[in-house]
Amino acid sequence: MESHSDTENRMHGERLHKYLPEFVYGGIDGVVTTFAVVAGAAGANLDQGIVLILGFANLIADGFSMSVGAFLSAKSTKAIYQKHRAREYWEIENLRESEVEEVREIYRQKGFEGELLEQVVAKITQSKDRWVDTMMKEELEMIPEQKSPFRIGLATFISFIIVGLLPLVFYVVSYVSDLSGNLFLYSSLLTLAAFTAIGVAKSYVTETSWLKAVGETILLGVIAAVLAYTVGDLLEAWLIG
C-alpha cells in the first residue's frame, strides 16, 4: 500500500514532469544566449570583468523577458479557449438545431449511422457541458491548458538562469580565486556538457532519439557561438584595433 509520503513524492514528481518542456526550452535558450555573449566577448578580447557584467546583465534581462513572454502566451491561450467555450454555450442556447446537426455530422464522419448515430447525438446533447466539451475538441480541435501560466513562466525563468549561468562559472571562479588558464576553453567545455544534458532532456520531451536531440542542441550552440565570436572579433578589430 502506498504511504502518504510516497503519494506526495509521486505527485511532486508528476508536477515537475508536467513543466519539463518549459525547463528544457528555457535552459536551451539560456545557455545559448549566455554562451553567445561569452563567445562574443572572447572574440573581442574583453576583460573578464566586462564578460561578467555583460553575461549577468544578459542572463537576468533575457531570462525575465523570456519568462514573461511564456507567461503571457500561456495566459492568452487560456483566454482564447475560454472565449471560444463561452461562444459554444451561446450557440447551444440560441442556435440549438444547427449545433445538433453539427454534432450529428461530426459522428457521421466517424462512421456512426442510423439508430446508433441518433443515440450518440442524443447522449451528447443531453448535457450542455458534455456538448460544449465535444464541440471544443471535435469541431474546434481545442483542448484546455492544464498548466498554470505563472508556473510556466517561473519554470522558464528558473531554467534560463540555472542553465544559462554555466558558461559564466569559470569566469566567476577566476574572478574570486585568480584561476589561471584559458577561461573561454573551460567555459566551452562546461557549456558542451550543458548542451549534452539539456539535449538528453529534450529527447525525453519530444520522444525522439537522444543522439539527434543532443546533436541539434550542440549544433545550435556552436552556430550561435561562432557567429558571436566572429562579430566580436570583427568589431574589436574595427573599433579598437
pLDDT in tens, 61-93: 999 999 999 999 999 999 999 999 999 999 999
| SS3 label, residue 208 | coil
CB contact at 8 A, 168 and 176: no
CB contact at 8 A, 54 and 39: no
CB contact at 8 A, 65 and 160: no
What sections of the chain are H helices per DSSP?
4-18, 20-43, 48-94, 96-109, 114-124, 128-134, 149-164, 169-177, 183-206, 210-235
The share of the chain scoring above pLDDT 90, in percent, equals 53
Q: Who's near 47: CB < 8 A, 6+ residues apart? A: none
Distance CA(133)–CA(110), nearest Å, equals: 17
pTM greater than 0.75: yes
Residue 241: band (very low, low, confident or very high) from pLDDT cuts 50, 70, 90: low
Q: Tell me which residue has cell 466517424.
A: 110
12-26, 166-180, 182-196: which has the minimum mean pLDDT? 12-26
